[in-house]
Structure 1
Amino acid sequence: MTMMDIGEVARRSGVPASTLRYYEEVGLIRPLGRHGLRRQFDPGVLLKLALIELGKAGGFSLAEIAGMFGEDEALNIPRANLHAKAEELGRQIASLRVLRDAIRHVADCPAPSHLQCPSFRKLLTSVSARRAGGRMERPVQAGRRQGRVPKPVRDPG
């Protein structure tokens, strides 16, 4: 079996050696041994590192990712956890879309000042309410369909 030292694993995976050592410390990866002072890994560690990076990109914590690997290193991802994470990401995406659209509106609003733009004021009110309530809600115009850009305020003059 061909083994790789930590430098080769870092090079091939793109994961810095310091991160590899941290992953070892928290139990996500295990070297097979050492050759001198250098940790030696099975090539299968590259797949595991890719799974860890995918989990991180998906918003899973390192503890959650660690729980997806059994004692025998077999991958076991409960599908219910994946569905829950997908729903959470969907809510975040929807909220970010509304926020993006509101910011675009404010950027294009013809009001002389941002503070004179009703949509901007609603955005400020919404942000304040979220901070006070400690939870994410739609940032502006709860009655409008998601994804619609608010109409700009027209100067009557």
Structure 2
Amino acid sequence: MQGLSIGEVAQQTGLQPSAIRYYEQMGLIPKPQRHNTRRRYDPKVLQWITLINLARKAGFSIAEVQTLIHGFSEDTPPSARWRSMATTKLTQVAQQIHDLQQMQVVLNHGLQCQCLRLEDCRISNQQGCHEQCEEADQT
């Protein structure tokens, strides 16, 4: 039989067969030929999966990978596709970094909290909750 079985593709890519079937269903990889009801993938499917894995490592969702692969005219070179997608993704990553930094501030304030009751706690205060907690504790 020609082509790769789904097990061979899974072994060579490190994916589960269910992920390969999902990629196929989503149109991310070409549909395989069938021989006696068994999938037989063209070896080029490995290149497609490498591309998908790279895009996923860059933080792209499955929907964004679909856009990368199918969301441009066929004559759009890969460099233009990546540039367009990366510009948008970098904006999102910058926002996520900001959000994570804010999360870190809140968590660090939480580490310093000495409140005795949740009702008195004001971790969202930029100076931490000590001052307000001490006031509440004195009452």
Q: Which amino acid aligns with 1:4?
A: L
**Percent identity among equivalent residues?**
32
1:98 is matched with 102
Aligned residues: 128
Name the CA shift for 1:5/1:13 in 2 (closer, same or farther; >3 Å).
Answer: same
What SS does the corresponding residue of 1:4 show, helix, strand or coil? coil
2:40 is matched with 40
Q: How far does the alpha carbon of each residue in 1:30-74 deviate from its partner, in whole angstroms, 9 at most, with x for none?
A: 1442333321223332232132233234443323312322569x8
Q: How far does the alpha carbon of each residue in 1:97-138 deviate from its partner, in whole angstroms, 9 at most, with x for none?
A: 2112212321331222344233x2x3xxxxxxxxxxxxxxxx
1:89 is matched with 93
- Which is helix-richer, 1 or 2? 2
Structure 1 segments of 4+ aligned residues over 6 angstroms from their partners: none
Unaligned 5+ segments in structure 2 are: none
Q: Distance in 2 between matches of 1:51 and 1:104?
A: 39
Q: Distance in 1 between matches of 2:19 and 2:67?
A: 19
TM-score, normalization by structure 1: 0.64
TM-score, normalization by structure 2: 0.70
Unaligned 5+ segments in structure 1 are: 123-139, 142-149
Output the aligned Cα RMSD.
2.9
